Structure 1
Amino acid sequence: MNERVWSISLLLFLSTVVAFAQTTNRNLKAPLPNEWEESGEVFQQILPVNDHWWKSFQDTKLDSLIAVAIDRNYSVAMAIDRIAAARANLWMERGNFFPSIALNTGWTRQETSGNTSTLPQSADHYYDASLSMSWEIDVFGSIRKRVKAQKENFAASKEEYTGVMISLAAEVASSYINLRELQQELEVVKKNSASQEEVLKITEVRFNTGLVAKLDVAQAKSVLYSTKASIPQLEAGINQYITSLAVLLGMYPQDVRPILEPVGKLPDYMEPIGIGMPVDLLMRRPDVRSAERTVNAQAALLGASKSDWLPKFFLKGSFGYAARDLNDLMKSKSMTYEIAPALSWTIFSGGQLVNATRLAKAQLDESINQFNQTVLTAVQEVDNAMNSYKNSIKQIVALREVRNQGIETLKLSLDLYKQGLSPFQNVLDAQRSLLSYENQLVQAQGSSLLQLIALYKALGGGWGE
């Protein structure tokens, strides 16, 4: 009977190994986009991606904000706590490699009944002190595999910490760029308002001299007030990004307003960037590496669950002293000891071992599917960010030319209007168009920087090793 059970357990163990090998072969093997391997005007194959990518913006205030966020952000603190918890779990599991030793001391008094047997009633007492030991000998690797699983979980927690740092740097940089973009839009509005006020003065002078109708004055005021009406909305948006940055920095808004409210320029950055080699792009991402660690951990747990089908060997023992008289406790005649090697083999458990293995197998399959999904998401994010950044640069180049032509159009139309050679409507159209062009240019510059930040985040840059 024992030989049959042993054979069944061994066959089940081997079948699990084969199944695991087949399962792990299901990992993603689809090729990455071909265009990633092509060099171009915007992207260069340079390895590795600069970890402190935000320093390329040459904005010392942004550098300081990210440094403060790294030091004070609560998401980072929670990630550190998760690492500490994973490390504790690892050392707890490693503790199973060692014997468990306990110290037992006490005094015992017992009295037997004289009415339960022919023996007379009696009382006895004794003192004892001993060390007991229990040690599981890891013959089939159950403990080793569970330790490996916790080691992989610990490594995954460190990858999650890296991911938090990358996301934090990207969020701070994105909020900062959005803040500067709105501040620049506000400056554009104020500058155009000043220009429109000058045009209004010109129309008033021409009206007072009888050269034009009052309609020109009313239209000039309409354009001016329409431009000024956008200021409150921009100021509200600026306040929102200041409060968002305050949360990321782990501070209150009133503490950061003096630093962030002064108007700052958008970083003037339109440079080719190094994106690394395609395979390394994905493998440097902490979410991909964390998913890979999770697969390894689940694979180890599956192996451990299979080891539970096999016998467990224990070495138990104790050594101590016992005596009726406390003065005799430490004498050699009072010494006691016990050595008890033991074997434990679960033959029937109501399906618990079977279902534990099924659970481990299902969790392994889930982790593999999650790994594949993570890789696909990484490919999508990198590809989208690359295309968006490349096209944003083209848009900025075009909008700069449009803005320059808008300035020239306003100048010419205003000159012709002063000479009475052109209707005021041309000046109004030129004013509206120039305001729109300048706003679009600022927005495109901000969007380009945001796409660049998204690209570095997608590449796993920002807090690598």
Structure 2
Amino acid sequence: MNIRMWSLLLFMFLYAVASAQTTNRYLDTPLPSSWEEGGEVFQQMLPVNDQWWKSFGDQTLDSLIAIAIDQNYSVLTAIDRMNMAKANLRMERSSFFPSLGINAGWTKQQTSGTISELPQSTQHYYDATLNMNWELDLFGSIRQRVKAQKETFAASKEEYTAVMVSLSAQVASAYINLRELQQELQVVEKNCASQAAVLKITEVRFNTGLVSKLDVAQAKSVYYSTKASIPQLESGINQYVNTLAVLLGMYPQEIRPSLERIGDLPDYMEPISIGLPADLLMRRPDIRSAERQVNAQAALVGASKSDWLPQVFLKGAIGFSSKDFKDMSNHKSFTYEIAPSLTWTIFSGGKLMNATKLAKAQLDESINQFNQTVLTAIQETENAMTSYSNSIKEIVALREVRNQGQETLTLSLDLYKQGLTPFQNVLDAQRSLLSYENQLVQARGNSLLQLIALYQALGGGWNN
């Protein structure tokens, strides 16, 4: 081999070593140092140690989420994915160790006597050997791939946590929607009873000749219009029961009896601060998973650069070989082989170079995805905080509107009985009161939904 070829090999070796050593610096700029994680990988313990839904004080909701955690098929799938990632990690780690194998057999061979001057002969022998093949990870290719798989396994844990956070939020949201519709149904039924009483008053006044039949017809129109909204509410209630059944991994008939009993909306309306510490966002499992993916891709970049360097193998075998089986244990039958080897790809048509470019592009993609995930988290949290704060103001205002609507109906009905006001005022008061009470129930339900969204946006909850 001439001087130029040796110079080329030396240059390639130095370039590969230098490239392999710059992998970590590639990550320093995009990832803020203040976001580096310490401690165990699986710090987020939702929903075990951060059961935010218990602040609602609703035992039915607590039991529903507990069942969902145990039986939901998305959770079980996430556990399976985590187990698969763990198995892949163990498989990758096995590359650190030598592979051992045993060969044993009997061979009988007859040579031809017509292709050479040697006479025809027959040979047979027994052999048994223990073989070893070991790749020495001198340049860190195996180590980098194990690191990548370790980060992938950690990301699968965060994905499991994300499923748990999402599941608890979905169950709570479906439950709140169910209770909201049940409360609206109660409002409608109460107003139906009130309107039925007014209808009787108009019928009595018509029968005594105090009013025309128009008042009776208008009263019936309002009553039956209100009553017509009941089937739609019952249909919505049934749909949310079915939704909860799917989330719980159960059939609807198993939970319908306990959920069809009308329950109250959780009475929870607490002010929150608008401040948003950065470390709260880092509790979000999707951000933590994206960070793990960046680390995994960085390790794969290092592994691809290590592939430019030589691979060193240590092969060996020990065993016994003998013509007669009874002589297998004789020390003269002992055999061994030691064969260290080095493999270095000099030219591969640009395969190694493009593999490194591909790994770097995938790393850039994961960094961009991480940054996008952070921005999305900030947006979701800000929106949820603003919506929840404003929903509290809306509830306060609607309570006053509802109270005034009740007083308006009482006054207009009293004046109508005395013949001092037309029946149209009573009709307007009835319609308005029904609308105000429905709006108040919807505002209470929406406030709880926004609070759930805020818990979810912050990765499950926070400490005040």
- Identify the residue that residue 122 of structure 1 maps to in structure 2: 121
Whether 1:321 aligns to 2:306 is no
Report matched runs for 1:256-295 at 5 Å: 256-273=255-272, 278-295=277-294
- Identify the residue that residue 38 of structure 1 maps to in structure 2: none
| SS of 2:131 mapped into structure 1 | strand
- Identify the residue that residue 39 of structure 1 maps to in structure 2: none
Distance (whole Å) between structure 2 residues aligned to residue 121 and residue 50 of structure 1: 82
| SS of 2:419 mapped into structure 1 | coil
Provide runs of 4+ in structure 1 moved above 6 Å: 28-31
RMSD, matched Cα:
2.0
Whether 1:372 aligns to 2:410 is no
Deviation at 1:17, TM superposition (A): 4.9
- Bigger CA drift: 57-66 or 6-15? 6-15
Deviation at 1:340, TM superposition (A): 1.0
Distance (whole Å) between structure 1 residues aligned to residue 260 and residue 432 of structure 2: 29
The residue type paired with residue 381 of structure 1 is: E
- Identify the residue that residue 38 of structure 2 maps to in structure 1: none
Distance (whole Å) between structure 2 residues aligned to residue 246 and residue 276 of structure 1: 37
CA 1:93–1:22 in structure 2 vs 1: closer, same or farther (change >3 Å)?
A: closer
- Identify the residue that residue 163 of structure 1 maps to in structure 2: 162
CA 1:152–1:280 in structure 2 vs 1: closer, same or farther (change >3 Å)?
A: same
- Identify the residue that residue 216 of structure 1 maps to in structure 2: 215
CA 1:17–1:417 in structure 2 vs 1: closer, same or farther (change >3 Å)?
A: farther
Deviation at 1:293, TM superposition (A): 0.3
Is the 1:162–1:463 contact (alpha carbons within 8 Å) kept by the matching residues of 2?
A: no
| SS of 2:77 mapped into structure 1 | helix
- Percent of aligned positions with the same letter in both sequences? 73
Report matched runs for 1:425-464 at 5 Å: 425-461=424-460
Report matched runs for 1:233-382 at 5 Å: 233-273=232-272, 278-382=277-381
Is the 1:166–1:462 contact (alpha carbons within 8 Å) kept by the matching residues of 2?
A: no
Is the 1:275–1:459 contact (alpha carbons within 8 Å) kept by the matching residues of 2?
A: no
- Identify the residue that residue 18 of structure 2 maps to in structure 1: 14
CA 1:237–1:446 in structure 2 vs 1: closer, same or farther (change >3 Å)?
A: same
The residue type paired with residue 434 of structure 1 is: L
Write the deviation string for residues 349-376 of structure 1: whole angstroms up to 9, x where unpaired: 2222112111111111111111011101
Distance (whole Å) between structure 2 residues aligned to residue 354 and residue 291 of structure 1: 26
- Bigger CA drift: 20-29 or 392-401? 20-29
Whether 1:76 aligns to 2:75 is yes
Deviation at 1:115, TM superposition (A): 1.9
Is the 1:50–1:461 contact (alpha carbons within 8 Å) kept by the matching residues of 2?
A: no
Whether 1:395 aligns to 2:399 is no
Is the 1:169–1:462 contact (alpha carbons within 8 Å) kept by the matching residues of 2?
A: no
Distance (whole Å) between structure 1 residues aligned to residue 6 and residue 314 of structure 2: 22
Distance (whole Å) between structure 2 residues aligned to residue 29 and residue 207 of structure 1: 81
Write the deviation string for residues 238-296 of structure 1: whole angstroms up to 9, x where unpaired: 00000000000000000010110000000010013478852112110000000000000
Is the 1:83–1:158 contact (alpha carbons within 8 Å) kept by the matching residues of 2?
A: yes
Report matched runs for 1:103-122 at 5 Å: 103-122=102-121
Deviation at 1:2, TM superposition (A): 3.6
Is the 2:103–2:128 contact (alpha carbons within 8 Å) kept by the matching residues of 1?
A: yes
- Identify the residue that residue 186 of structure 1 maps to in structure 2: 185
Distance (whole Å) between structure 2 residues aligned to residue 225 and residue 74 of structure 1: 44
Distance (whole Å) between structure 2 residues aligned to residue 346 and residue 298 of structure 1: 23
State the TM-score, normalizing by the size of structure 2. Answer: 0.93
Distance (whole Å) between structure 2 residues aligned to residue 319 and residue 243 of structure 1: 67
Whether 1:198 aligns to 2:197 is yes
Deviation at 1:463, TM superposition (A): 11
| SS of 2:210 mapped into structure 1 | coil
- Identify the residue that residue 35 of structure 1 maps to in structure 2: none
Write the deviation string for residues 412-434 of structure 1: whole angstroms up to 9, x where unpaired: 00011111111100000000000
- Identify the residue that residue 413 of structure 1 maps to in structure 2: 412
Relative contact order higher in (CA < 8 Å, ≥ 6 apart): 1
Is the 2:23–2:301 contact (alpha carbons within 8 Å) kept by the matching residues of 1?
A: no
Distance (whole Å) between structure 2 residues aligned to residue 418 and residue 4 of structure 1: 108
Is the 1:104–1:131 contact (alpha carbons within 8 Å) kept by the matching residues of 2?
A: yes
Distance (whole Å) between structure 2 residues aligned to residue 28 and residue 188 of structure 1: 53
Distance (whole Å) between structure 1 residues aligned to residue 358 and residue 138 of structure 2: 24
| SS of 1:129 mapped into structure 2 | strand
List runs of 5+ in structure 1 lacking aligned partners: 32-48
Whether 1:5 aligns to 2:9 is yes
Is the 2:20–2:306 contact (alpha carbons within 8 Å) kept by the matching residues of 1?
A: no
The residue type paired with residue 327 of structure 1 is: K
CA 1:332–1:3 in structure 2 vs 1: closer, same or farther (change >3 Å)?
A: farther
State the TM-score, normalizing by the size of structure 1. Answer: 0.93
The residue type paired with residue 105 of structure 1 is: A
| SS of 1:340 mapped into structure 2 | strand
The residue type paired with residue 238 of structure 2 is: N
- Identify the residue that residue 85 of structure 2 maps to in structure 1: 86
CA 1:182–1:85 in structure 2 vs 1: closer, same or farther (change >3 Å)?
A: same
Is the 2:405–2:432 contact (alpha carbons within 8 Å) kept by the matching residues of 1?
A: yes
Distance (whole Å) between structure 2 residues aligned to residue 373 and residue 455 of structure 1: 19
CA 1:50–1:452 in structure 2 vs 1: closer, same or farther (change >3 Å)?
A: farther
Distance (whole Å) between structure 1 residues aligned to residue 316 and residue 276 of structure 2: 59
Write the deviation string for residues 153-173 of structure 1: whole angstroms up to 9, x where unpaired: 111000000000000000000
Is the 2:308–2:352 contact (alpha carbons within 8 Å) kept by the matching residues of 1?
A: yes
Distance (whole Å) between structure 1 residues aligned to residue 167 and residue 277 of structure 2: 24
List runs of 5+ in structure 2 lacking aligned partners: 36-47
Deviation at 1:8, TM superposition (A): 2.1
Is the 2:127–2:321 contact (alpha carbons within 8 Å) kept by the matching residues of 1?
A: yes
Is the 1:72–1:249 contact (alpha carbons within 8 Å) kept by the matching residues of 2?
A: yes
